[in-house]
Chain A
């Protein structure tokens, strides 16, 4: 990694001096960061992590919250002292009867869905009957219409022909006070006009 990082920094450095641009300034690494690059970036936290503590930290720390405590992190320390066995839901398995009842309900729902789908099949599917040629032709017509009214770049026109974009709809500008202030400048008026 160190081999590839150094030539890049040299490259950007020469470019900076050639063109006098600041935004290509090479990133300067602190000595500790350079060591990381040389030895390869490691994640010491993961390596030294004690996996036996993970469960305790991740399972709902809110449970040990005392009634008077406004926030778990109010003191700047998360409250993670909890017993995993205490938190684990008891009787986690659904009873067989309840499961069968739920299955029956699902079956009736499925039947209704199938009937509805059958009904839908009878309807004409217009969205499947589209014609790509028609779409292309319509796009071409729209393009021609736009081109007819506005060439890529027009010939030079006298300023008298310039129309204010919001002529007849000045009331719209009252809704945007900031924009009204901006267009008072001549330069911005030019930009905001219909081109």
Chain B
């Protein structure tokens, strides 16, 4: 097990821990590996997600703030302005 998972992080169990863990890991990966293809894919995915969510019945104003915040962070990563310490 040590070979697969040499270390770990604790995440607060407040109901959003799964989403927080997943996104943290994703951002960490994008920053560490500088995977530009993945970053571009994520930006496209987030931009397109608004349409999906709208079709699923969400109001645009509900989605918009979160989408913009996510896009801002992804833009920072793509331009190399974000480091691991900023996570």
- A-to-B contact residues, CB < 8 Å: 11-12, 15, 19, 24, 146-147, 150-159, 162, 186, 189-190, 194-195
Contact = CB atoms under 8 A, between A and B. Distances in A.
A152 B7 contact: no
Interface of B: 1-2, 4-14, 17, 20-21, 24, 48, 51, 55, 87
B11 A154 contact: yes
B12 A150 contact: yes
A151 B87 CA distance: 13
Contacts of B17: 195
A150 B13 contact: yes
Given A153-B20, A153-B24, A159 B12 contact: no
Contact of A186 (B4, B9, B10, B20): B4
What's the dominant secondary structure at chain A's contact region? mixed
A152 B1 contact: no
Max chain B Cβ within 10 angstroms of own Cβ: one of A152, A162, A186, A189? A152
A189 B7 CA distance: 14
B4 A158 contact: no
Contacts of A189: 1
A189 B5 CA distance: 12
Contacts of B48: 19
Contact of B7 (A15, A151, A158): A158
Contacts of B12: 146-147, 150-153, 195
23 contacts: A12-B55, A19-B48, A147-B12, A150-B10, A150-B12, A151-B10, A152-B11, A152-B12, A152-B20, A153-B10, A154-B10, A156-B7, A157-B7, A157-B9, A157-B10, A159-B1, A159-B5, A159-B8, A162-B8, A190-B5, A195-B9, A195-B10, A195-B11
B8 A155 contact: no
A77 to B, nearest CB: 43
A146 to B, nearest CB: 7
Given A162-B8, A190-B8, A195 B51 contact: no
A158 B11 contact: no
Contacts of A152: 11-12, 20
